[in-house]
Amino acid sequence: MKKKNGNNKKQPNTIVLPPEPAHATVLHPAEPFLAAADPDFAELIRRVGPCRLEPDHTGEPYEALIRAVLYQQLHGRAAAAIFGRLKALSDGRCPSPEDLLTYSFEALRGCGLSARKIATVQAVAEASLNGVVPARAKAESMETEDLIARITSLRGIGRWTVEMLLIFTLGKPDIMPVDDFGVSEGWRKLKGLETRLRPRQLGEATLCLAPWRSAAAWYLWRAAAEGKTTGTGNPVTG
């Protein structure tokens, strides 16, 4: 009998699944590839249905990073409430970099941001103004690893945060966020493992899913959530 995963340590990176949109009518090109690459994926796709990974093709990296920072280490409902209060400071929109830098520490704390996250979002705002966080057109033209290196140079921004930007805003098709708890837990359940793989092991195990690893991650999040009640929608994921 397989043992349940006993790792109860706090997991820094996880995804709260968004509400499912209406069933897709067009087959995602990743579906037949993943099904052919791995029989376990074929069965998972059969259970879950069409891939509904829907990147925001108009969003800017700055706003995507602000959202991702707010959702780090928080339940979806709590993060959504914080983001709502932050947007209320700017007439219901994500504050511009200029506006965000004018808000006092007390105002941002009043929205529910921790001191660490205040420092991080202000660093993102400054980096957007000075060009370190590129506009969408520039980001789309950059090599993936170059963009990751550039943005992770900022205080409080790790690889996972940039990977969420790459998948859900820039629509990069071949990103496998191996540090994500939901992805590693989904793989554990998919393969019937007793424990989750380490990030490097997971990266190696999923190489066969290239060039559609973003869609594979989408399915692994669903695998992790099977049998559970999903939380509220998470702007990071769509």
User: Does CATH place domain 30-54+174-227 in 1.10.357.10?
Assistant: no
**Two tokens at 201?**
């092991």
- Reported as a pLDDT band with limits 50, 70 and 90, residue 9 is very low
Domain with CATH 1.10.1670.40 in the chain: 30-54+174-227
Output 13 or 144, whichever has higher pLDDT. 144
Full-prediction pTM beyond 0.85?
A: no
Mean pLDDT of 50-73: 92
Domain with CATH 1.10.340.30 in the chain: 61-168
Tens of pLDDT, residue by residue over 116-127, are: 999 999 999 999
- d(Cα 9, Cα 21) in Å, to the nearest integer? 32
Tens of pLDDT, residue by residue over 159-197, are: 999 999 999 999 999 999 999 999 999 999 999 999 999
Comparing 75-79, 107-111, 193-197, 207-211, the range with the smallest average pLDDT is 75-79
Active site residues: 180
Task: Let me know: does 210 contact 175? Beta carbons within 8 Å.
Answer: no
Q: In terms of CATH architecture, what is 61-168?
A: Orthogonal Bundle (1.10)
**Two tokens at 232?**
């509220």
pLDDT at residue 2, as a whole number: 45
User: Above 70 in pLDDT, residue 17?
Assistant: no
Alpha helices in the chain (DSSP H): 30-37, 39-48, 61-71, 76-88, 97-102, 105-110, 115-130, 136-141, 144-151, 159-168, 181-191, 199-205, 213-225
pLDDT at residue 75, as a whole number: 80
Q: What is the mean pLDDT of the chain?
A: 88
